[in-house]
Chains A and B, each alone.
Chain A
Amino acid sequence: MLKTVNLQKKYTTDEVETTALVNVNLHVKQGEFLAIMGPSGCGKSTLLNIIGLLDNPTSGEFYFLDKEISKFSERQRANLRKEHLGFVFQSFNLIDELTVYENVELPLIYLKVGNAERKQRVEQVLEQMQIAHRRNHFPQQLSGGQQQRVAIARAVVSKPKLLLADEPTGNLDSAHGQEVMQLLSTLNEQGTTIVMVTHSPTDADYAHRIVNLFDGQIISENVKELAIL
């Protein structure tokens, strides 16, 4: 599904150059559930942003669906994003001015999905996320767990090949956090590839494989099946 070769990312301000990622080589297979862990500032989110086509690497190669895309323009990346990627954020990032239904509908509008199909798909995913009864509410009227379920619904309504989650339980209490992780796990079982950044070992436990990042480098990987064996 995706592969990085010697991926580097540097941030330059007027005087200081900060290296966020150093020679990251990562391979994610179709259907995999990968967790990226590491302390604050280790480059997790930077890596996720590059994988999520929200940012370009400074150097190195990045293959997505077998295409080298590290030099893609913003427009090309925007097209790939809307067709193949879904995002879940720690702070939900729902649009306050839109209702639950409208938030979930938005990606399909940008994908130019027809009216009838859009309605059907939004309803379906709202049911799936058990949030359909709240469809006419605005984000501020929902609990954190509910908001994150809406965010996930929005992320998956376009049936993305890859779902990217940045600390999806970071703003939730443990009960709601578990609920969200269950949802992600189910989605993965249904075939969605997931890459998740997390601080939480409990959350990471849901993943097939954990990559540990430190100062911009991958320092270890553990594959869950092997650990069990």
Chain B
Amino acid sequence: MLKNYIVVALRTLRRNLGYTSLNVIGLALGITCSLLLFLVIRHELSYDRFHSKADRTYRINVDRVTANGPENSAGTPFPMLATIRASLPELTPATHVFNEEGGTFTVLSTNDREPPRKFREERPILFVEPEFFDLFDFETNGVNARQAIKDVNTVLLTQSIAEKYFPGENPVGRVIRMNNVVNLRVTGVIPDAPANSDLPYLMLVDYESSKTVNSFVTDDSWNSTYSNQQIYFALAPGASKTQAEDRLNEIASKLRDRAPGEKYRYTFQPLSEVHFDERYSNFNGRTVDKTTLWALGLIGLFLVLVASINFVNLATAQALRRAKEVGMRKVLGASKGQLMLQYLSETGLITLVALVLSVMFAELLLPYLNQLLELEIQFSIARDAQVALFLLVVLVVVTLFAGFYPALVLSGFQPISALKSKATTARAAGIPLRRALVVLQFTICQILIICTIIVHHQMEYFRSASLGFDKEAVVVIPVPSGKAKDLMALRPQLEAHSAVHASTFALSPPSSNIGLNTSFKYDDFSVERNYSVNLKIGDEHYLKTFNIPLLAGRVYQKSDTIREFMVNETFLRHVGVKNPEEALGKQLQVNGGQSTGKIVGVVKNFHLASLREEIQPVVMSTATSFYFTYNVKIEQSEAKAALAHLQRVWSTAYPDNVFYYDFLDDTIARFYEGEERQAHLFKIFSVIAIIIGCLGLYGLVSFMVAQRTKEVGVRKVLGASSASIVGLFSKDFAALVLIAFLIAAPISYYSMSKWLQDFTYRIDIGSWVFLAAGALTLLIALTTVSVQALKAAFSNPVRALKTE
């Protein structure tokens, strides 16, 4: 019996090759997308799930509530871990993980003949304790990693770094120098960190060495935290998380100073949430919103749904053609169940073919997707039970969803009427359903189009919105920590080139991930304020270089330490000053009273971070010891020459370091990488949804045209023009697009309003977006319909009437 079904199925599919191809291509596209999205979602959900203690591993975060609003960080005070080890034995194993975001490495040669080789790394170098390996199960390839970083100044290299620094050599026992301050002895080579971990190390260095690399890693203060200094631990089985959390806060409250009115609490964040909670970030610098994953899953589902709808539409439209076969089989005694099974197995076969194609497509497309999303997803159907299961589920669900209704219609034909091709019941029953399904397809397409336009528009806004300073053609060159003076001495040479317009030494450019927050006192110092201000450190050329307008007063004078201040408009609003002139000459105290000075100027507001965030109160001042960057405004058209010049002068100041730079607008663009990727994905998938929808529409219309051949013939004989024939078919679909629009518009408005709420600075959703999406869908639908309708319109009416 089954053989018979398959034989008939194959021959039917071959005979209706056009119809089969539409179905197979549509389904294959839909399934490919859903498979790729499945892989992406699975990858994102797999972060750090592979550690055996993952379920009871936590990170210590701190939640503060200040007048500025909530402040969340994963940074911890430096002495905290020692306290935990002494007083909270249930938190074990526990380890520091200190992240140094890249660095300069010098490979010292073993003889005097070869010069040392220098490398610049931009990705995390983690400083960890031996307990790191008790807590996490990273692959060590037989190396006793715990032992290897037990001593101070030791380093474990990953495979790729070992090959890069020591090609063809055994690195164990060799020495590399980090940031020109510390020599590290290589004690082993371990595999690269897995792609699905938020602890993405290039090297693992013993924790003690972090104190040499960073002079501010101190051991004594509970008051300072650094966001790259984190603590991970496992909670002993059976221990209470809440109780342990309470104990830690109780101990901490006695050790740390508290600002008035400040709320402060240490919390334990499960390892499984580190990848998803953007408030605390992680060492990958990338968190994923679970809502985004849900949205992607939904899109995957939508695409399969749209393709399945094609199937249902085409199959029911085509049912009439197969009426005779159904009738004859019934006459010969086939039961309804047998017929349903037959048509379901046909659908199953088509789905299977589409599935095989999808796997091939997915393998071809995965590298591009990885590139787009900057992920390293791999899949092999043979060795991946989850993917196999996913595909099996898709096969069964699509077959049932797409095949059930057509099978029901076909098997429900009355044998006599079916034999006489009078299967009118099917036509009557099929049409409202087909319309509803087409409406559903149009709705999905329009939602995707509207979302794409809005996301794209917001991205454009990010790119074009005025940030309150010039970001174009500004080069940001890092300066070795504490050595700014060496380069400052060379300022005349640096600025001697004609392509260099202005330059400034500073902690960081106006918009930056790096910032200092400080408590402060204003004017008479009597009022304690429970919020902090952003302290921007830069020399007297800062405003000129970034073209930040001064509202009142003057720029502070050159100084090696904090002496004079400038503040921004938000600062004035916070301290209740209306007129900028009023603030001039007022006293200001920052850094817990360590630095005092006068306000000499007020600057116009500029953005400190991404447009997701509001502009904070800013206090600006000078302090040579905090100059970590040299920012240069250059002539864009002569960038190459300017950079070469800067590198030459820079290298004379720092002969042991590696010169590198970033363009400020690139850095700022990276703030929106996540959204940019989302926008890309939306674009790709809405285009695919539209393609699938058009395939189905094209097929559906061609069947409708075929069915109405006689009607078209009669109309033409009676004098109908070709245009009116096209109109006849288009009218129906235009109405369906309109209904879909009425459903899609509110849904997309609602969801995009929610999405935009994440951004403090955002576009307004204009009605034009909806009109454009509606018009676009209408255009696409009518074009698709017209192609087929024109064929009918231009056909010879005599032939149409004869065939009936």
Which residues of A pack against B, CB within 8 Å?
Answer: 49, 52, 54-55, 74-75, 78-79, 81-83, 87, 89, 93-98, 102, 105-107, 109-111, 154
Contacts and interface: CB of A to CB of B under 8 A. Distances in A.
A109 B335 CA distance: 12
A54 B11 contact: no
Contact of B4 (A75, A81, A94, A102): A102
Interface in B325-379: 325, 327-336, 338
B209 to A, nearest CB: 76
A78 B334 contact: yes
B419 interface: yes
Contacts of A102: 4, 7
A2 to B, nearest CB: 17
A111 B333 contact: yes
Given A75-B335, A82-B332, A95 B419 contact: no
Contacts of A54: 331, 415-416
A83 B338 CA distance: 16
B716 interface: no
Given A78-B334, A95-B328, A109 B12 contact: no
**Residue in B15, B328, B329 whose Cβ sees the most chain A Cβ within 10 Å:** B328
B333 A82 contact: yes
22 contacts: A54-B416, A74-B336, A75-B336, A78-B330, A81-B331, A81-B332, A87-B332, A93-B331, A93-B419, A95-B8, A95-B324, A96-B325, A97-B11, A98-B7, A102-B4, A105-B4, A106-B4, A106-B332, A109-B4, A110-B329, A110-B338, A111-B333
Interface string B9-29: 001100100000000000000
Contacts of B7: 97-98, 102
Nearest to A55: B416
B489 interface: no
Given A95-B329, A96-B15, 14 more contacts: A75-B335, A78-B333, A82-B334, A83-B333, A89-B419, A93-B419, A95-B8, A95-B324, A97-B8, A102-B4, A107-B333, A109-B1, A110-B329, A154-B332
A33 B8 CA distance: 35
10 closest A-B pairs by beta carbon, nearest first, are A82-B333, A97-B11, A110-B333, A107-B332, A93-B328, A81-B333, A97-B8, A54-B416, A95-B325, A54-B415
A190 B15 CA distance: 40
A67 B327 CA distance: 25
A151 B338 CA distance: 22
Interface residues of B, number: 23
A82 B335 CA distance: 10
Contacts of A106: 4, 329, 332
B410 to A, nearest CB: 14
A165 B11 CA distance: 29
Contacts of A87: 331-332
Given A54-B416, A74-B336, A98 B331 contact: no
Contacts of A74: 336
B333 A79 contact: yes
Contacts of B415: 54
Contacts of B15: 96-97
Nearest to A81: B333
Contacts of A96: 15, 325
Nearest to B325: A95
Contact of B416 (A49, A78, A97): A49
A109 B1 CA distance: 6
Contacts of A79: 333
A106 B335 CA distance: 13
Nearest to B332: A107
Contacts of A154: 332
A52 B333 CA distance: 11
B4 A78 contact: no
A93 B8 CA distance: 16
Nearest to B327: A93
A14 to B, nearest CB: 13
Given A54-B415, A93-B419, A102-B4, A110 B334 contact: yes
A54 B4 CA distance: 24
B420 to A, nearest CB: 9
A212 B324 CA distance: 29
A105 B3 CA distance: 12
Contacts of B332: 81-82, 87, 106-107, 110, 154
A137 to B, nearest CB: 13
A82 B11 CA distance: 25
B708 to A, nearest CB: 22
Nearest to B10: A97
B334 to A, nearest CB: 5
A49 B8 CA distance: 27
B8 A98 contact: yes
A6 B334 CA distance: 30
A154 B333 CA distance: 12
Contacts of B12: 97
A106 B15 CA distance: 20
Contacts of A98: 7-8, 11
Given A106-B329, A109-B1, A78 B335 contact: yes
Nearest to A45: B416
Nearest to A91: B419
A17 to B, nearest CB: 18
A93 B333 contact: no
Which of A75, A82, A154 has most B Cβ within 10 Å? A82
Contacts of A78: 330, 333-335
A154 B329 CA distance: 12
Interface in B534-592: none
B4 to A, nearest CB: 6
Interface string B774-790: 00000000000000000
A74 B7 CA distance: 27
A98 B5 CA distance: 10
A221 B416 CA distance: 27
Contacts of B335: 75, 78
A111 to B, nearest CB: 7
Which of B7, B328, B331, B332 has most chain A Cβ within 10 Å?
B332
A107 B333 CA distance: 7
A100 to B, nearest CB: 14
Nearest to A111: B333
Interface-centre pick from B1, B15, B329, B334 (highest chain A CB count, 10 A): B334
A229 B427 CA distance: 55
B428 to A, nearest CB: 13
A109 B331 CA distance: 13
Interface in B401-445: 415-416, 419
Nearest to A110: B333
B8 to A, nearest CB: 5
Contacts of B331: 52, 54, 81, 87, 93
Contacts of A109: 1, 4
Nearest to B330: A78
B13 to A, nearest CB: 10
A105 B1 CA distance: 11
Contacts of A94: 328
Contacts of B327: 93
Interface in B290-334: 324-325, 327-334
A49 B338 CA distance: 22
A97 B325 contact: yes
Contacts of A55: 416
A55 B419 CA distance: 13
A194 B193 CA distance: 82
A81 B335 CA distance: 11
Contacts of B324: 93, 95
A27 to B, nearest CB: 24
A107 B327 CA distance: 13
Contacts of B333: 78-79, 81-83, 107, 110-111
Among A52, A55, A96: residue with most chain B CB under 10 A: A96
Interface in B483-539: none
Contacts of B8: 95, 97-98
Contacts of B334: 78, 82, 110
